[in-house]
Structure 1
Amino acid sequence: MHELSIAESIVAAVTDKVAATPIRRVRVEVGRLCGVVPDALRFCFELATGGTCLAGAELEIVSSPGRGRCRDCRAEFDTDELIVMCDCGSVDVEVLGGRELLIREVEVV
């Protein structure tokens, strides 16, 4: 479960910036193509925040869509599939979006 290491990294990044300031909410952007299961990340975040300034903080997850461009037919399209394939049948696709995993906002108490 890589969501636990992601949650631990979020906690570490936030505590590095805000030290011991109590945190109310953390908003993260999770791309639909990055392979993160939102419910698993929420569960792991709750575990990882225990005993830190983030204990009890809400994890708000904003999903960003997957987007690709076919290198063969040049079509751009939205996708939620981890294995990206164009409607023309090509798998030679450049991923333009959906792999993001970013801390967007931290709300302090």
Structure 2
Amino acid sequence: MHEMTICEEIVCQLEDERRRRGFDMVKRLRLEIGLLSCLDPDALRYAFEITTRDTFLDGMLLEIDRPPGQAKCLDCGAETTVSSRTEICPSCGGERLDASGGAQMRLVEMEIIGKAA
């Protein structure tokens, strides 16, 4: 499950940020995982639950946004929003869509508690 590896990397980054900024814990974390990514949000949630147990992240609220991708039809040139790589062009019915975006994963926002003095 590559979601566990990704989760562990995010936790490491949050630990580094905690040392740098001196906060006590993360109350809420918001991620953006595109619909065209190969990540399973439920598996990532489970990985966070396991990885963050008994840490400064334990009990945090994990929010995941799922933006669609964009695609351009290579047959007619129409641009469209897509939620999977197998969609067809709504303008001409063509199956040759060149997808862009929608595969990203990024940390959008985090809410922290207890900044050290």
Aligned runs of 1:56-95 on 2, under 5 Å? 56-83=59-86, 85-87=88-90, 88-91=93-96, 93-95=97-99
TM-score by length of 1: 0.85
| CA–CA distance in structure 2, aligned partners of residues 10 and 85 of structure 1 | 35
Q: Which has the higher strand share?
A: 1
Aligned equivalent of 1:98, options 78, 95, 102: 102
Gaps of 5+ in 1: none
Mapped contact 2:7–2:44 kept (Cα < 8 A): yes
Mapped contact 1:30–1:61 kept (Cα < 8 A): yes
What displacement does 1:94 show? Answer: 2.7
- Give the equivalent residue in structure 1 for 2:13: 13
Gaps of 5+ in 2: none
Query: SS state of the match for residue 66, structure 2?
Result: strand
Task: Tell me which amino acid in the other structure corresponds to 2:105.
Answer: L
Note the alpha carbon deviations across 1:19-71, whole angstroms, 9 max, x for none.
26311111000100002111111111111112432122111101111221123
- Equivalent residue pairs, number: 108
4+ runs of 1 displaced by more than 6 Å? none
The structure having more radius of gyration, on CA atoms, is 2
| CA–CA distance in structure 1, aligned partners of residues 14 and 73 of structure 2 | 37
Across the aligned residues of Structure 1 and Structure 2, the Cα RMSD in angstroms comes to 1.8
